[in-house]
A and B are shown apart, each in its own frame.
Chain A
Amino acid sequence: MDHLTALENKSIYIIREAFNQYKSLTLLWSIGKDSTTLLWLVRKAFFGDVSFPVMHIDTTYKFPQMYEFRDKYAKEWGLNLMIEKNQSALNRGIGYATHDGFTCCHELKTVALQQAIIKHNLKAILVGIRRDEHGIRAKERYFSPRTIDFKWNAGEQPPELWDQYKSKIGKEVHVRVHPLLHWTEVDIWEYIKRENIPISELYFAKDGQRYRSLGCMPITKPINSKADSLDKIIKEIKESKDDERAGRSQDKESMNTMEKLRALGYM
């Protein structure tokens, strides 16, 4: 079995396990390459169906191209798309013009997600994070329980072995399911190429720049790049000595920002 097929099989097993175990399930779709790949794998796992809702946490600060992409494929793939915002924070005027990245990220993503979990009584959320993105994410489990206040205690995680994952949760708890945990950035791109997965145009170089990771427009910076095709992107990443999320300022405004964000419930 080749490398990508082995990765795919493990992800499909986890997706089916989550679907079988948790009836109130959703996929968190950020419109980026990872969660779009995850969405593709869900379609693969269920022979083209996406039989549970897909959720976009909309900070209202995404790129116009991302909204277009979202709406196009939500229609084409017949998704039951839920768009959730932290409306009260937006009403209070929380935004990048007046607030720092940490506050915006926390309020417009994490709190918005928290509200959506309560609103829809969600028990499990598929999230497209990967171990190689960030050292903190490398410590995640495939099935990671969270209390309603979203606390994640990295040192006290449940054991996970031999394809056996956390299958029971208490009342006030939901599970983050991470089917892409074992994929690398290069794996994702090679799989996108192999499967011909549609992906936002923002990832491809235009006028000497492209986005390597997509987030909120005000705090997401492009990288200098001539990679305007999948092959060139794969080559560029393989040779790169920079971090994938170098353009994402919420990870590094101060030491351990990512750890603090995640302890509060960030993806």
Chain B
Amino acid sequence: MNDNQLKFVIAGHVDHGKSSLIGRLLYDTGSVSKAKIREVEEICQALGKDFELSFLMDHLTEEREKNITIDTTQTFFKTKERDYVIIDAPGHKEFLKNMITGASLAEAAVLIIDAKEGLKEQTKRHAYMLSLLGVKQLIAVINKMDLVDYSQDRFNELKNELSQHLNKLGLKPNYFIPISARAGDNIAEISKNMDWYKDLTVLKALDSFKNKIKFNNLPLRLPVQMVYNDLLLGQVESGSISQDQEVILMPQNIKAKIMEIKKWQADPETAETGDNIGFKLADQALVERGNVICSVETEAKSRKEFTATIFWMSAKPLKENQEFELKLTTQLTKAKIKKIHKIMDSSDLEILNKKEINETEVAEVKIETEKEIIAENFYFIPELGRFVIIKGEDIAGAGTVSN
């Protein structure tokens, strides 16, 4: 959405060096304050450790003492090309919901693998989550090359193994880069320790990525967020809108016309994807939150039943016919799983022969909603093809619409 900022997530198994890589990126781009470095030096001294790059990211006492990342965090740095937001994601299975919270914002990802340990459970699980979240720009880094004597053979071996696995998920990394986050190899500078590697550094590879493309060319979908005085408020999720445009109000399926577009102290004639606007329809007496303004040209998929891939983030499992609330943009409805087609382990993709979906598992399901909602295929209009499942007070799962 932003012209000059790229958000990327660093994913991978616990201890494969996510926080260290971030520390290195910050350090090598001069993005760390003097005070911060002093603070980390003091903490490391107090804990009796050598200077720990990862402490630049892991801020909770528990994280530093145990040397793990618990919650997702974000930090900022810049290269000559553009500004970056790094999203650090915890590598432990029990913190998967924190990883997903972070990764859901990413436009690109760096998947990190320990050269010695190779592909592990969370490497694969994170890769799968990236594919479900629709992250396509990907760098695979083989870290800790210093621990395998900078061996080209080991690098190639892992590269092949990883390619094969990612292929199953429909992921194809744009780059494979051998690095050592600790020693600084191939992060900001090409390493002298691996003369067999001639491609880009991590920073240059990131610089080559594109910002998330805008969806102005997609059909208009503008869910009503709220009614405020005589205005309807909402965010243009896809497409664009202009004054006097003929539209369809869904799910009522009524023709309508945009009479006015409003911002504070401005009356723009058009609004694009991502704009949060006020607007008026010719007849809006019955319009409420969760209605969706749609283009006339491309018929919106209004329905009470669809298939979806869901991933579960709650300790309480989900079964067929259990009632929950489903939220897709501002649309909210009671819903249930009518049929579980299959449940998979999100790491090795093994099909599990069971009846309930447990935390960290992924399932292909048929969902039935009480109210009619606009739900598009995730690969057609992503913003209208993804939803969350609310059980009790919290988001317990999330999913993408497949059909």
Contact = CB atoms under 8 A, between A and B. Distances in A.
Given A132-B76, A135-B57, A164-B395, A242 B34 contact: yes
Given A3-B4, A16-B276, A139-B60, A155 B71 contact: yes
B71 A157 contact: yes
Nearest to A165: B395
B17 to A, nearest CB: 19
Given A17-B225, A20-B226, A9 B274 contact: yes
A163 interface: yes
A155 B60 contact: yes
A3 B214 CA distance: 13
B278 interface: yes
Given A1-B2, A13-B225, A164-B388, A139 B395 contact: no
A80 to B, nearest CB: 17
Contact of A47 (B83, B95, B262): B262
Interface stretch (B38-46, B176-184, B201-209): B38-46
A157 B272 CA distance: 33
B214 A1 contact: yes
Contacts of B329: 163
Nearest to B88: A138
A44 B327 contact: no
A252 B39 contact: yes
Interface residues of B, number: 66
Given A141-B101, A155-B60, A13 B388 contact: no
Interface in A147-171: 154-155, 157-164, 166-170
A25 interface: no
A1 B3 contact: yes
Contact of B393 (A163, A164, A168, A256): A168
Given A9-B276, A48-B264, A169 B393 contact: yes
Contacts of A7: 2
Contacts of A167: 327, 390
Contacts of A161: 100-101, 104-105, 388, 395, 398
Interface string A1-44: 11100110100110011011000000000000000000000011
A162 B59 contact: no
B382 to A, nearest CB: 9
Decide if the interface of chain B is mainly helix, strand, loop or mixed. Answer: mixed
Interface in B356-403: 383, 386-388, 390, 392-395, 398
Nearest to A161: B104
Contact of B3 (A3, A158, A252, A259): A3
Contact of A20 (B214, B275, B289, B388): B289
Contacts of B57: 135
A136 B60 contact: yes
Contacts of B1: 1, 6
Contacts of A47: 231, 262-264, 278
Nearest to B85: A182
B331 to A, nearest CB: 11
B70 A154 contact: yes
B313 interface: yes
A159 B42 contact: no
Nearest to A145: B393
Contact of A166 (B70, B272, B274, B393): B393
Nearest to A51: B228
B35 A242 contact: yes
Nearest to B47: A255
Given A182-B74, A246-B33, 10 more contacts: A1-B1, A3-B83, A6-B1, A13-B235, A135-B57, A155-B60, A159-B100, A164-B395, A243-B33, A246-B35
22 contacts: A3-B3, A3-B4, A9-B274, A9-B275, A9-B276, A13-B235, A44-B264, A47-B231, A47-B263, A134-B59, A138-B73, A139-B60, A141-B101, A159-B100, A161-B100, A161-B101, A161-B388, A162-B387, A162-B398, A166-B393, A170-B393, A242-B34
Interface of A: 1-3, 6-7, 9, 12-13, 16-17, 19-20, 43-48, 131-132, 134-136, 138-139, 141, 154-155, 157-164, 166-170, 182, 184, 240-243, 246, 252, 255-256, 259
